[in-house]
Amino acid sequence: MRRLPTGLVGLAGLLLLAACETAAPFQPRDEHHSTGYTDQRLGANRYRVTFAGNAATPRETVENYLLLRAAQVTLQSGYRWFVFDTRDTETKTYYHTYFDGYPGYGFHRFGWYWHDWDYADSADSYPTTRYDAYAEIVMLTPEQARSEARALDASDVTARLTPPPPPPPKH
């Protein structure tokens, strides 16, 4: 029976665990969560809104959740219309490397020496990407919205981009 290299087995296990990760839920980000939304009032009709996803959250979902939160903030502030003043999505890619074998000292007839051939020849790497979106929004009066071609109706946005229900609590 053939044995699989331990690095391959470890990588397969980590990929299996990563496949079990679920997309970031639409919830406020706080000191206990690295994902979710934040909003900060910058002026009477201006907010900064963010949404941070995890490795299982597609870019489109992160951007949709940012748009949804911007619409919710607009409605909660007593406005119906808003525009994005600035908006961007940052891509963060991390590389994970797992090694099979360990560097160490060996001994031969001339004495002790350092070897690392197992360490260098048996490395498996894979990328993990997550997205963080942020925007500054300006809320508009109905008169301002009529003259602004980029104005978004917050009621329409919330009706179209309802997030899925949160996952059940873990036991």
pLDDT, averaged per 10 consecutive residues of the chain (171 residues), comes to 48 50 90 94 98 96 97 98 97 80 54 52 79 98 97 97 72 59
φ and ψ at residue 130, rounded to 5 degrees? -135, 160
Of 81, 89, 83, 82, give the one whose Cα is nearest residue 64. 89
Of 49, 28, 43, give the one whose Cα is nearest residue 134. 49
pTM: 0.74
Question: 38-58: b or e for each residue (b if 16 or more CB lie within 10 Å)?
Answer: ebeeeeebebbbbbbbbbbbe
Q: pLDDT at position 34, please?
A: 92
Q: pLDDT at position 56, please?
A: 94
Question: 134-166: b or e for each residue (b if 16 or more CB lie within 10 Å)?
Answer: bbbbbbbeeeebeeeeebbebeebbeebeeeee
Q: pLDDT at position 100, please?
A: 57
Q: pLDDT at position 16, please?
A: 47
φ and ψ at residue 19, rounded to 5 degrees? -65, -25
